[in-house]
């Protein structure tokens, strides 16, 4: 019978770095308590050691980096990563097979290859507001009725969401590049919403079918022929142009009828017809977060320079031009 150990490092207020190969993988840990001073956790620091944790993992604000395979094969159901975390190494949380809820750091721009691979029970993800790249095989099978990827995201790698079970897939207007195998074997998909007026570049693989052939593709008005010639090879049952794209807010799919956004001379106006306040996020076309805030009922004006912007309101996404 294995012997379970505890690691309690909270008393070491000076500790800022747990080295690579911390050598915990020889033990089965029932408890890990990390100090608030910690900034870096090295590669494979706790690999294989977390299969009997009693209270899961807790990270403090201030942590900046987690190395490759640092917490692979951990038995955790929830993972709330601190907002200060800017780097997560390849495979850092791979094979955490009971992980169901994930909150990504606000400043994280890239999910590296295999970070959450074989985490095959995820059903809730809070995305980073600044996420731009999702690397190859970075997730396992995800279970969501609707999977909405965040505005600002530009690149999705190979086999990222392979075998994911979702009926509705919502691709952001900022998406530029999509691996052909990104949604391989996602046979439950019935609707794909592509918000970008310019179809994402598909890295073609002749042996892979990117989407189910009975799915319907929804695209912006005036772009059907463009998508037909560049994004599709006959995979979709139908391609429909639309002005109203759904979005998921806390897991609930809604439409964008309650909000309006328009560009003017040096401003972006956000119109909220609801009594409840709504968050908004404004991105440049390369996916950089330009501004964010909260829109009260009425019209909120945001100063902006000349150019094209992507605005995500409480329940919709809009492309506007500021002159």
Per-residue pLDDT reduced to its tens digit, 146-178:
899 999 999 999 999 999 999 999 999 999 999
In a domain, 11, yes or no: no
In a domain, 262, yes or no: yes
Point out the least confidently predicted range of 81-85, 109-113, 230-234: 230-234
Q: What number of other Cβ atoms are within 10 A of residue 137's Cβ?
A: 21
pLDDT value at residue 27: 57
Which whole-number Å values give the CA distances from 250 to 127, 131, 141, 144, in the listed order? 11, 18, 20, 12
pLDDT value at residue 254: 40
Per-residue pLDDT reduced to its tens digit, 281-307:
888 877 788 998 888 888 899 999 998
Query: Which token pair is 235?
Result: 């995979």
Q: What is the pTM of this model?
A: 0.72
Residue pair 248/315 in contact by the 8 Å Cβ criterion? no
In a domain, 125, yes or no: no
**Domains of the chain: total:** 1
The mean pLDDT value for 54-69 works out to 89
Cα 251 to the chain's mean position, in Å? 14
Element (H, E) at 180: none
- Cα separation, 90 vs 125, in Å, equals 19
- Cα separation, 82 vs 65, in Å, equals 10
Element (H, E) at 270: strand 267-272
Range of 292's domain?
256-322
Answer whether residue 134 shows pLDDT above 70: yes
Query: Which token pair is 254?
Result: 């809604």
Q: Which of 78, 79, 17, 74 is nearest to 49 (CA)?
A: 74
In a domain, 197, yes or no: no
Answer whether residue 263 shows pLDDT above 60: yes
In a domain, 7, yes or no: no
In a domain, 112, yes or no: no
Answer whether residue 120 shows pLDDT above 70: yes
In a domain, 286, yes or no: yes
Q: In what order do the strands lie in the sheet with 124-126?
A: 78-80, 101-103, 124-126
In a domain, 278, yes or no: yes
pLDDT value at residue 292: 87
The domain spanning residue 304 has which CATH number? 2.60.40
């Amino acid at each position: 019978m294995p012997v379970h150990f505890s690691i309690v490092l909270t008393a070491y207020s000076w500790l800022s770095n747990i080295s690579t190969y911390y050598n915990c993988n020889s033990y089965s840990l029932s408890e890990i308590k990390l100090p608030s001073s910690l900034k870096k956790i090295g590669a494979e620091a706790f690999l294989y050691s977390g299969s009997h944790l009693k209270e899961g993992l807790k990270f403090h604000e201030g942590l900046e980096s987690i190395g490759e395979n640092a917490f692979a094969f951990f038995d955790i159901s929830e993972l709330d990563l601190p907002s200060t975390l800017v780097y997560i190494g390849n495979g850092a949380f791979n094979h955490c097979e009971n992980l169901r809820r994930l909150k990504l750091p606000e400043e994280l721009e890239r999910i590296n290859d295999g970070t959450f691979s074989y985490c095959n029970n995820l059903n809730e993800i809070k995305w980073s507001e600044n996420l731009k790249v999702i690397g190859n095989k970075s997730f396992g099978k995800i279970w969501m009725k609707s999977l909405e990827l965040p505005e600002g995201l530009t690149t999705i790698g190979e086999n990222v969401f392979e075998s994911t079970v979702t009926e509705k897939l919502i691709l952001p207007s900022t998406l530029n590049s999509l691996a052909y195998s990104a949604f391989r074997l996602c046979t439950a998909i019935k609707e794909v919403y592509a918000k970008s007026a310019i179809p994402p570049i598909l890295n073609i693989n002749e042996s892979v079918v990117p989407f189910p052939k009975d799915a319907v593709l929804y695209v912006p008005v005036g772009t059907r022929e463009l998508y037909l010639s560049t994004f599709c090879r006959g995979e979709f049952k139908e391609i429909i142009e639309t002005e109203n794209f759904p979005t998921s807010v806390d897991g609930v799919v809604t439409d964008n009828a309650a909000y309006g956004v328009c560009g003017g001379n040096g401003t972006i106006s956000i119109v909220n017809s609801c009594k409840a306040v709504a968050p908004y996020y404004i991105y440049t076309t390369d996916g950089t977060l330009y501004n964010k805030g909260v829109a009260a009922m009425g019209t909120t004006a945001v100063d902006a320079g000349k150019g094209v912007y992507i605005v995500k309101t409480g329940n919709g996404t809009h492309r506007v031009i500021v002159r």
